[in-house]
Amino acid sequence: MAKKVKLSEMTDMFKDMEILSLEGVTIEGDIELDLSGLGGGFDPMLAALLGQENAILAQHFARLANMFGVPVGIGAPVAGAPGAAPGISPALAAPKFKDLIPAKFDVANIAEWTNQIQEVPIGNTSADGGSRGKRVLLGGEKALPFFPDAPMPNRNQVTIDVFDMRLGLAKAVKENYDDVMDNPGEWAKKNVEKFNADMITIHLISTDPLIKDTSPKDAAKTVEEVLQAVDVPIAIGGSGNPQKDPEVLAKAAEVAEGERCLIASASLNLDYAKIAEAAVKYDHDILSWTQLDMNAQKELNRKLMKQCNVPRDRIIMDPTTAALGYGLDYAYTNMERIRLAALMGDEELTFPMSSGTTNAWGARESWMVSSPLKEDSDWGPREYRGPIWEIITGLSLAIAGNDLFMMMHPTSVAVLKHITQTLFGSIEAEPVDISNWIGAEV
């Protein structure tokens, strides 16, 4: 059982102790609170009474502390104690420390990172024999991105998608392009002039035999239209049909001769040799696409270089992008492993990387109005959720070492470019007002 001790009894407790500061000292001032006549709940009189009695307690304990050699001032600040809190004696003021030992941090390359990533240009200006207004440079890194170990020679680039026919898109995306979806040239122009695209990717999806089966010759006319509409570098993609894509991409490469486009793409499940031959013959770069398999990426790169004689400065890798919630962690790990292996000397992987960041729109969470599960939490407005899904997918892979992002939503493009350019160390343009691109009534 706890023993209650009155303040006055403490004098007797210390009387047999040889404490010089307590000689002849009597501790007085027992406290008794009379709470009679006070109402329940919060009572201003009670609050005032407790405050007064607590102040008395503080004085008693301060006197005790002084008796034991620890001076504590009560009330006004103690004179001559600079920096001391009000009512605290110099003995308890914050101690002054001696100067800390200076710390030194040297930025240096990691010893194992001996290789530099191949620098690959996209787009030929008039000086290079083409008609592009600028040339985009990818790669050239000597370290992982945004690290102090080595500066990034070239910033991340974004290419915005254009399609050669009207198609179903997520509402949040479609509302930005509905007025130009029947005209690929105007679509490309809007992406450059309004949405600040670094590049344009024209997808010739109508060539698929199961869609419109557009001929390679007619598809090539769309490529010419886009080249005339904008002067930024372009990437040219097929429909994904492994039988027809080689023929379509070869014809597109021919009509775009000298422009140094990015031909997308060569893969192990189609006639990559035909695509590579056209790319080299007509002065283009080639996208080496594999499906989340580093060994397959090595194999395809090796075949492009050794069997098809594609120069190293014309190869860009696409190791496949799995979106947030649908394998992004695996895509991140695969890209990071590829980049680390390249920096540590694997010559079959020392190439820039491209991400199909638009795959984020394949995730149902990016475009559905709400969860199909009644017991699920509120997902929030899809007009915000969709772009965020694309942004997080892209930024994650940027950290893994990705150089080029294929994207769709203008808000996603603006945010990703702003963040990556900030991390890179330079903002090339004034902040863009994206408020009118979202369209959510929140």
Which pLDDT tens digit goes with each residue over 264-305? 999 999 999 999 999 999 999 999 999 999 999 999 999 999
Amino acid at 69: G
Q: Which pLDDT band holds residue 209 (cuts at 50, 70, 90)?
A: very high
Please answer whether residues 181 and 417 qualify as being in contact, where contact means their C-beta atoms are separated by less than 8 angstroms: no
**How many CB atoms are closer than 10 A to CB 235?**
25
What are the DSSP calls for 134-193, one per residue? --EEE---SSSTT-TTS--SS--EEEEEEESS-----HHHHHHHTTTTT-HHHHHHHHHH
Contact call for residues 282 and 276 (beta carbons, < 8 A): no
Asked, for residue 242, whether it belongs to a domain, the answer is: yes
Compute how many other C-beta atoms are within 10 angstroms of the C-beta atom of residue 372: 8
* CATH number of the domain encompassing residue 361: 3.20.20.20
Burial class (CB in 10 A: 0-12, 13-18, 19+), 341: middle
| Complete DSSP assignment for 222-245 | HHHHHHHH--S-EEEE--S-TTTH
Indicate the range of 22-26, 151-155, 195-199 predicted with least confidence: 22-26
The answer to whether position 12 is within a domain reads: no
Q: What is the residue-averaged pLDDT of the chain?
A: 85
pLDDT of residue 40: 53
Residue 398 structure tokens: 């940027």
pLDDT at 417: 95
pLDDT for the residue 36: 54
Question: What span, in angstroms and rounded, lies between the C-alpha atoms of 227 and 256?
Answer: 8
Count of domains forming the chain: 1
Look at residue 405 and tell me if it is in a domain.
yes
Residue range 182-199, pLDDT digits in tens: 999 999 999 999 999 999
C-alpha to C-alpha distance for 288 and 265, rounded to whole angstroms: 6
Q: Which of the two residues, 120 and 77, has the higher pLDDT score?
A: 120
Structure confidence by residue, pLDDT tens digits, 334-386: 999 999 999 999 999 999 999 999 999 998 888 887 888 888 888 888 888 99
- Dump pLDDT digits (tens) for 51-96: 676 677 677 677 766 666 666 665 544 444 444 444 444 544 555 6
Q: Compute and round to an integer the Cα radius of gyration of the chain.
A: 35
Q: Residue 253 — very low, low, confident or very high, per pLDDT cuts 50/70/90?
A: very high
Inside any domain, residue 205: yes
Question: Encoding tokens for residue 440?
Answer: 């959510």
pLDDT of residue 43: 56
Token duo for residue 95: 């101690």
Report the distance separating Cα 178 and Cα 205, nearest Å. 18
104 inside domain: no
Tell me which residue range forms the domain holding 243: 117-424
The structure's pTM equals 0.74
DSSP element (H, E) containing 299: helix 294-306
> Residue 16 corresponds to which tokens in the numbers above?
């047999």
For 184, list phi and psi in degrees, rounded to 5.
-55, -35
| pLDDT for res 111 | 84
Residue 23 has pLDDT above 70, yes or no: no
In a domain, 61, yes or no: no
